[in-house]
Amino acid sequence: MVAASATARVTAGVSFAARLAFDRVSHEFSPTAATLHEVSLAAEPGEVLCLLGPSGSGKTTLLRIAAGIEAQTRGSVLLNDREIAGPSVFLPPEQRSIGLVFQDFALFPHLTILDNVRFGLTALSREEARREAMISLARVGLEDYAGSYPHILSGGEQQRVALARAIAPRPAVLLMDEPFSGLDSRLKDTVRAETLEILRRSRATAIVVTHDAEEAMRMGDRIALLKDGRLVQLGTAQELYNSPATLFAAGFFSEINVFEARVEDGAVDTPLGRFDAGGLADGTSASVAFRLSAFDVSQTHGEIPARVVSRRFLGVVELLELAVPGADRLVRARVRCGALSNPNREIWLTVRKPDVLVFERTQEST
Ligand SMILES: Nc1ncnc2c1ncn2[C@@H]1O[C@H](COP(=O)(O)OP(=O)(O)OP(=O)(O)O)[C@@H](O)[C@H]1O
């Protein structure tokens, strides 16, 4: 039994995967400026949960509250159903079993890579700390660089050292704040994939902050979308993309054209056609969103006449701006290159229904 758990320790890399939950967490930096409003969500054991949202939506504040660097104003944070921060409890960061990775890696330039990784292992003897740090470095594939200094490593390798340092104490949960934003775009894909692989192998529960929807879709088992300190939607990438809860969520995951309409006889009329109102009551003001991928184009046939105002070649696809009768603004469409083979500007559109989303128009969505 002891031997089995010792093996598990070495191969798992994290002592146990935990559930981290926020229960109605609110926060304000000043009485007039609320940062978070009653946010409730949980990262399940072993899951990679991405906190996604535009700048200022409260992602970093939520992460700092989980880490114990910031205290919430109301609500609780629970680790495996044990309150670690709440009305009557506040565990300091070092007692939370939570690891942190920041965007700037924050490696000490004057310490060797081994010593950088060993840095947080103060509870262990020097030799034990060395062994654990080497296990952690091996996990990120950098054990051969243990005696070198950070400056000889590429940005991606430095990020792996930062990850090794964060997982070395075998935290129950890893928190990562925009961990790839310091990397150039070519390196980003590789380091992101490597990080995901390391997280999977170590079976860590991870919360990753990003403002990039594609990054969240690539990394997250689930995604929590935040706006103005509120949770907009929590679900898998498919759920958020296919069934966005609000117009904001729809626009965050794909570029859209939006038309306003009033629901009549269960449907909405737009310059791009008439569509089912998805159960909205007659008389409701609606926002009708068309993804840029919603259009099939043809020079001979279709449902809606349109005139090509501009074409931009993007490789596999081209981006069109179209004048459509009755539309007070240009409609943008993303179509396969070659779909319009001759230079004739008068074309026809056919709208794909699954790429049309109808929302009740709210103040928030305007
Ligand atoms: N120390 C602070 N004092 C006062 N206001 C702050 C402080 N830190 C953050 N804020 C404000 O709180 C809000 C949420 O900030 P936060 O950094 O959590 O958002 P974010 O979603 O992580 O944004 P970003 O992607 O730009 O980092 C913002 O309006 C920000 O200006």
For the cut 60, the answer to whether the pLDDT of residue 142 exceeds it is yes
Kindly state the average pLDDT of the residues 109-123. 89
Give 159's pLDDT tier (boundaries 50, 70, 90): confident
For 299-315, what is the mean pLDDT? 94
Which atom of ligand 1 lies closest to the CA of 229?
14
Lowest mean pLDDT among 72-81, 196-205, 228-237: 196-205
> Which residue(s) pair with 258 in the sheet?
289
Whole-angstrom distance, CA of residue 334 vs CA of residue 316: 10
Cβ 55 under 6 angstroms from ligand 1: yes
- Give the domains, in start order, of the chain with CATH numbers: 2-97+171-242 (3.40.50.300), 255-360 (no CATH)
The answer to whether the CB of 211 is under 6 A from ligand 1 is yes
Q: 138-147: which pairs have CB atoms within 8 A and are 24 or more residues apart?
A: 139/13, 139/164, 139/167, 139/198, 139/201, 139/202, 140/164, 140/194, 140/198, 141/194, 142/113, 145/113, 146/112, 146/113, 146/114, 147/112, 147/113, 147/114
Q: Cα of 282 to ligand 1 centre, how many Å?
A: 40
Percent of the chain at pLDDT exceeding 70: 94
* pLDDT higher than threshold 80 for residue 4: no
Confidence of residue 200 (pLDDT cuts 50, 70, 90): confident
Q: Once rounded to an integer, what is the mean pLDDT over residues 119-143?
A: 88
Mean pLDDT of the chain, nearest integer:
89
Strands, E assignment, 145-238:
173-177, 205-210, 222-227, 230-235
Q: What is the pLDDT of residue 210?
A: 95
- pLDDT average, residue stretch 215-234: 96
- Tell me, using a 6 A CB cutoff, whether residue 53 lines ligand 1: yes
| Dihedral angle sign, alpha carbons of residues 101, 102, 105, 109 | negative
User: Which residue's alpha carbon is nearest to atom 6 within ligand 1?
Assistant: 29
**Cα 107 from Cα 163, distance rounded (Å):** 11
| Residue 198: Cβ within 10 Å count | 21
- 7 or 260: which carries more pLDDT confidence? 260
Q: Sheet containing 356-360: give its strands across.
A: 256-262, 285-291, 356-360
Which of 28, 29, 180 to mutate to test ligand 1, by most ligand atoms within 8 A of the CB atom? 29
18, 75, 76, 90, 187 from 82: Cα distances, Å:
11, 13, 10, 12, 39
Convert the pLDDT of each residue in 255-289 to its tens digit: 999 999 999 999 999 999 999 999 999 999 999 99
Q: Are 176 and 59 in contact (CB under 8 A)?
A: no
Task: Name the residue of 30, 60, 176, 212 to mutate for ligand 1: max ligand atoms within 8 A of Cβ.
Answer: 60
